[in-house]
Chains A and B, each alone.
Chain A
């Protein structure tokens, strides 16, 4: 494999792994927010920001973890036929179908950026009592779709390497 492609795979995978491991700990942030929410409700001074903040953290938790999930290949596959192929056969199938994945992630990324720009220029707020600005969350969403796109290109390079009988 060309040296640039190996460097690309190494770089992207290291980045996705670090961000994924960071996102893993957001679970504890979510727990803390919800625990605080319970305390304020018992103390009769209910906080208005906890539910939305927990939801925002949940979105970051799921989506920032997604590139790492792609990398570890732990997403659900319907492997009725797929599991019977050799690793090489699986790579051949994946080379074709990964473009469908890329197209999907690309359209999602386009929509996310579109929505982020709109939120930023119009100062869009969540229609609730707390009224938080939405662009930071949308920025996180766009960033994770970008990472997923980069990771799926790395998957394609890995599959090509498998077919050539090389290891990265």
Chain B
């Protein structure tokens, strides 16, 4: 068979198998195994197991379970809830303030964790119910949470940049530093978008009512700022060894 025909056949079969809703690894693996057996003959049965060993020797894979574990620790420790309360109190009076606070919360979470999924999970469980309760536009808040969670892989530490650095053989520290500015720029643009959009149409994101604002004292406000210290500490503890070591 012509190699183009093989590629087309394998790709279309894979898509067809995935549409049926079977587990993705099963669908892809089935196509791969059938193609290996029919095209290579009996020797194809060992191709799968040699792929397992090829993957084992790919060291970046070791970092993945650690980052996932870290995300779990953060969501179970309710660290994000304290942070969210802080942003809520400080940005509440602004129109669309809670949405801005959500973006900043995502920045803080990205500073501690390198996966986008963690930010998405925290945003959906903590920020979403609160935003809905306050009558924010549903289309806007789902956009806010999704856009905000995409910062996770840009702002250091980032898993994707670790994987990239090992493929491209570039130092991780440089790549991580290179992610800081674009990440913060993106966050600023998101915030600017939210503010401009709510200025044009205040019904999308009502501000915190004045009577609720009056109940919060300055002392409480300052006490809540403490929640922001821990992420900064984690960030420094993770980044300093990298930067001191120089190009690793």
Contacts from A to B (Cβ < 8 Å): 27, 30-31, 34, 51, 54-56, 58-59, 61, 70, 75-83, 85, 90, 93-94, 96-98, 100-101, 103-105, 107-108, 110-112, 114-115, 141
Contact = CB atoms under 8 A, between A and B. Distances in A.
Interface in B52-86: 52, 56-57, 59, 61-62, 65-66, 69
A93 B21 contact: yes
B45 interface: yes
Nearest first, the 4 closest Cβ-Cβ pairs linking A and B are A82-B21, A101-B26, A97-B22, A104-B29
Contacts, number: 103
Contact of B24 (A31, A54, A61, A76): A76
Given A30-B65, A55-B59, A107-B33, A75 B24 contact: yes
A78 B18 contact: yes
Nearest to A97: B22
Interface residues of B, number: 31
Contacts of B66: 27, 30-31
A76 B23 contact: yes
A85 B21 CA distance: 10
B47 A100 contact: no
Contacts of B61: 58
Interface string B7-32: 00000000001111111111101101
B65 A100 contact: no
A70 B25 CA distance: 11
Interface of B: 17-27, 29-30, 32-34, 37, 45-49, 52, 56-57, 59, 61-62, 65-66, 69
8 contacts: A75-B25, A77-B23, A78-B19, A82-B20, A100-B30, A104-B30, A108-B29, A115-B46
A79 B22 contact: no
User: Which residue, of A34, A58, A70, has the highest number of chain B Cβ atoms within 10 A?
Assistant: A58
Contacts of A97: 17, 20-22, 26-27
Contacts of A141: 49, 52
Contacts of B52: 59, 112, 141
A84 to B, nearest CB: 10
A81 B30 contact: no
Contacts of B34: 103
Contacts of B30: 100-101, 103-104
User: Which residue, of B19, B23, B47, has the highest number of chain A Cβ atoms within 10 A?
Assistant: B23
Contacts of A27: 65-66, 69
Contacts of A104: 26, 29-30, 32-33
A61 to B, nearest CB: 7
Nearest to A31: B66
A90 B46 contact: no
B23 A112 contact: no
B25 A34 contact: no
A70 B22 CA distance: 11
Contact of B65 (A61, A80, A82, A90): A61
Contact of B22 (A51, A58, A59, A101): A101
Contact of A107 (B18, B19, B26, B37): B37
Given A100-B17, A103-B33, A104-B30, A111 B48 contact: yes
A130 B61 CA distance: 21
B24 A78 contact: yes
